[in-house]
């Protein structure tokens, strides 16, 4: 049985994310309801959230991508959603995606094992869900995805890369985008988020960056130009700041437009 202390520190951030989603789900003005998040976070996730503090950014991001997936599914009706670094993401269970949609979830095998064990007999996905255990930074995960049944030529794909890029070194971010792009037929959508490069250098971010480094999950990568980055891989990106999206949703996020982070909806 995989225990929380057998997850590496970056994998443990998936438990923090689940804990924040569990907390959000209890609010009267909740931005979404994730009834499985508390089970998936467990006491380890609650402990991480206690150290980290309430993080509305994860709530705003989750709601934004819930809606963006809806938009992507309406546009061109892709039958594949690939969640890269899925962690404790429960969208295959809670978005009501129809049975003809396949959700591929990529993450480290021990993360997916833990999730499947915790949800076994508790909940069933509404669509077809396929877990693909890989190391996204080193393995050729494209091959593993193909072995799991994914064919790029079958049509457009919606990709979701949420809460991952900051944990990768720049060459790994570029390699990831390269591989996603190579597997994306015309009409595909890419949904992702980035920490601003400016944040990594900002004095006010030092306590946060120190905490992440102490946890063994340092933030390594950021960009202030997501549009240009994605254009280099053939994507037309619409970029918004977390601050703007949060304001629309009635949630204040620190850092303003320049430092709060970027959410991206891209098409090709």
Ligand X SMILES: C[S@@+](CC[C@H](N)C(=O)[O-])C[C@H]1O[C@@H](n2cnc3c(N)ncnc32)[C@H](O)[C@@H]1O
Is 86 near ligand X (CB under 6 A)? yes
Is 107 near ligand X (CB under 6 A)? yes
Contacting range for ligand X; rule: CB under 6 A; set: 74-82, 86-94, 115-123, 183-191: 86-94
Q: How many residues of this chain interact with ligand X, rule: CB under 6 A?
A: 20
Task: Among 68, 111, 245, 259, indicate the residue that binds ligand X (CB under 6 A).
Answer: 111
State the nearest-atom distance from the C-beta of 226 to ligand X, in Å: 17
Contacting range for ligand X; rule: CB under 6 A; set: 147-155, 156-164, 238-246, 259-267: 156-164
Contacting range for ligand X; rule: CB under 6 A; set: 25-33, 66-74, 131-139, 197-205: 131-139
Is 13 near ligand X (CB under 6 A)? yes
Task: Among 24, 34, 89, 265, indicate the residue that binds ligand X (CB under 6 A).
Answer: 89
Which is closer to ligand X, CB of 16 or CB of 73? 16
Question: Are the CB atoms for 241 and 260 separated by under 8 Å?
Answer: yes
Is 34 near ligand X (CB under 6 A)? no
Which is closer to ligand X, CB of 135 or CB of 154? 135
Strand partners, 107: 133
State the nearest-atom distance from the C-beta of 47 to ligand X, in Å: 16
- Which position's Cβ is nearest ligand X? 87
Q: Which residues of the shown chain bind ligand X in the complex (CB under 6 A)?
A: 10-11, 13-14, 17, 85-89, 107-108, 111, 135-137, 162-164, 167
């Amino acid at each position: 049985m995989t225990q929380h202390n057998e997850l590496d520190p970056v994998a443990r951030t998936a438990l923090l994310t689940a804990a924040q989603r569990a907390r959000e789900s209890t609010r009267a003005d909740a931005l979404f309801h994730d009834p499985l998040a508390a089970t998936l976070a467990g006491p380890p996730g609650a402990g991480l959230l206690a150290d980290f503090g309430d993080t509305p950014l994860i709530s705003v991001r989750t709601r934004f991508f819930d809606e963006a997936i809806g938009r992507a599914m309406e546009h061109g009706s892709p039958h594949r959603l690939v969640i890269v670094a899925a962690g404790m993401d429960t969208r295959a269970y809670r978005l009501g995606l129809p049975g003809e949609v396949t959700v591929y979830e990529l993450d480290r095998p021990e993360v997916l094992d833990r999730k499947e064990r915790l949800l076994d007999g508790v909940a069933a996905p509404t669509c077809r869900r396929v877990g693909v255990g890989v190391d996204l930074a080193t393995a050729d995960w494209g091959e593993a995805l193909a072995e799991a049944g994914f064919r790029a030529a079958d049509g457009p794909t919606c990709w979701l890369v949420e809460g991952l890029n900051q944990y990768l070194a720049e060459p790994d971010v570029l390699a990831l985008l390269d591989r996603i792009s190579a597997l994306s037929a015309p009409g595909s959508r890419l949904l992702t988020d980035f920490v601003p490069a400016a944040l990594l250098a900002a004095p006010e971010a030092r306590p946060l960056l120190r905490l992440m480094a102490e946890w063994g999950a340092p933030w390594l990568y950021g960009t202030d130009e997501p549009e240009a980055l994605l254009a280099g891989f053939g994507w037309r990106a619409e970029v918004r700041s977390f601050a703007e999206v949060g304001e629309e949703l009635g949630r204040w996020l620190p850092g303003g437009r320049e430092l709060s982070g970027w959410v991206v909806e891209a098409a090709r």
